[in-house]
């Protein structure tokens, strides 16, 4: 019952994004969007999928993550040179990054006072304002 509702939700998400509901996309969509917000890398999602017996290649994971991002289901967050995180929370918000663990956590938009953002230079538009607080385990 839960399974079928989740299936229906995943199906609806793909349908409204104009993506064919393949076995792989359905499985990845469920992994990503069931449960709370997630910040995950392609490799992590691939491992998770295989671990659940979902037959999906790494190339397909990358394809799906990019398609989900293009259609607004995900957003990409860059905090670490050489690794991209995909965020299931596409609302405006900020991030806490645990440098040691390579883990991202949401900060609600109103948890930070942010004002007077400079206007974009002429001929440009602001694509996004990213605020990342990098924290590290305190020494000692």
Partner DNA sequence: AAAGTAGTTTAGAATTGATCTAATCTACTT
Partner DNA sequence: AAGTAGATTAGATCAATTCTAAACTACTTT
Residues that bind DNA (CB under 7 A): 19-25, 41-43, 55-60, 62-64, 66, 81-84
Given candidates 89, 96, 98, 107, which one binds Zn ion under the rule CB under 5 A? 89
Distances (CA, A) of 31 to 24, 44, 61: 11, 11, 12
Element (H, E) at 23: helix 23-33
Is residue 48 a contact residue for Zn ion (CB under 5 A)? Answer: no
Output the smallest distance, CB 93 to a copy of itself, in A: 12
Pick between residue 17 and residue 96 the one whose CB is nearest to DNA.
17
Element (H, E) at 96: strand 93-98
Is residue 106 a contact residue for Zn ion (CB under 5 A)? Answer: yes
User: Is the Cβ–Cβ distance between 94 and 132 less than 8 Å?
Assistant: yes
Is residue 8 a contact residue for a copy of itself (CB under 8 A)? Answer: no
Pick between residue 66 and residue 93 the one whose CB is nearest to Mn ion.
66
User: Is the Cβ–Cβ distance between 86 and 76 less than 8 Å?
Assistant: yes
């Amino acid at each position: 019952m839960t399974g079928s509702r989740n299936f229906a939700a995943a199906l609806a998400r793909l349908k409204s994004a104009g993506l064919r509901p393949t076995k792989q996309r359905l499985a990845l969509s469920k992994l990503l969007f069931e449960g709370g917000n997630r910040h995950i890398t392609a490799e992590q999602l691939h491992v998770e999928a295989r671990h659940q017996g979902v037959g999906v290649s790494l190339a397909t994971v990358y394809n799906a993550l990019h398609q989900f991002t293009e259609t607004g289901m995900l957003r990409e967050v860059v905090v670490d040179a050489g690794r991209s995180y995909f965020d299931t929370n596409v609302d405006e918000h900020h991030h806490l990054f645990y440098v040691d663990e390579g883990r991202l956590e949401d900060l609600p938009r109103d948890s930070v006072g942010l004002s007077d953002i400079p206007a974009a230079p002429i001929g440009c538009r602001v694509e996004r304002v990213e605020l990342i607080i990098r924290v590290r385990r305190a020494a000692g």
